[in-house]
A = this chain, B = another copy of it.
Amino acid sequence: MSNRRDPARNRERILRAATVEFARHGLGGARVDRIAARAGANKRMLYYYYGKKENLYLAALEAQYAQIRSAERALELEHLEPQRALRRLVLFTWSYYLEHPEFLGFLNSENLHKARHLRRSRRVREMHFPLVETLRGTLRRGERAGVFRRGVDPVQLYISIAAEGYFYLGNRYTLSQIFGRDLMAPRALAARARHMTDLILAALRR
């Protein structure tokens, strides 16, 4: 009946509720009461498990990064032919942002705070080595195969891939408003996916 039985599950529910709240309202705008209500927990429990709002925020933020990086690794880009690998990464990133809008919210919030919290996290830094290395490897394979031009920086490339999806989706409200279009209509989304892949692959072509 009550939540007294499964601590790990309660802890997890709090984290999930917090993720939604922080993504939606940012760190400052998030309300501890709402998190508790959504988690079906007593407000006091947030403090029992996480000590304070900011710690809970950091825990949620780390989990966000862990999730996307984990899903990315599952793509196994190393085993794909270079151009296919890139296309796949572009489309994966796009889909991930589309299906996990919370992630975008966290990035915004954390940058508003100049990454003050991320800086405290070792875990997150370590998560990103493999991503860069995989991308670097893919580019090199493409160069050797003669399909990619030389000298592309994997970090710059990844930032571009992320940027194309992130900006479109994260700013969809203002963009829809100023351009007078519904950017989230299925057709619009499909068009964006095509535009992005074309753009990235064209840019890599030799």
Binding site for B on A (CB under 8 A): 25-26, 28-29, 65, 105, 107-108, 110-115, 118-119, 124-125, 127-128, 132, 153, 155-156, 159-160, 162-164, 166-168, 170-181, 191-192, 195-196, 198-200, 202-203, 205
By a CB distance below 8 angstroms, the chain B residues around A105 are: 112
- Whose C-beta in chain B lies nearest to the C-beta of A104? B111
By a CB distance below 8 angstroms, the chain B residues around A107 are: 171, 174
Give A198 to B192 CA distance when docked, in angstroms: 20
Secondary structure call for the A interface? helix
Given contacts A128-B178, A163-B168, 17 further A-B contacts (CB under 8 A): A25-B28, A26-B29, A107-B171, A110-B174, A114-B173, A115-B177, A118-B174, A119-B177, A124-B177, A128-B180, A132-B179, A153-B195, A155-B179, A160-B164, A162-B167, A163-B163, A167-B167
Closest Cβ of chain B to A28, distance in Å, is: 4
Pick from B112, B119, B159, B205: contact of A108, CB under 8 Å: B112
- Whose C-beta in chain B lies nearest to the C-beta of A192? B156
Q: What are 17 A-B interface contacts by the 8 Å CB criterion? A: A29-B112, A111-B171, A111-B173, A111-B174, A115-B173, A118-B177, A124-B177, A124-B178, A125-B180, A155-B179, A159-B167, A159-B168, A160-B195, A160-B199, A163-B164, A164-B164, A198-B203
By a CB distance below 8 angstroms, the chain B residues around A124 are: 177-178
By a CB distance below 8 angstroms, the chain B residues around A164 are: 160, 163-164
By a CB distance below 8 angstroms, the chain B residues around A192 are: 156
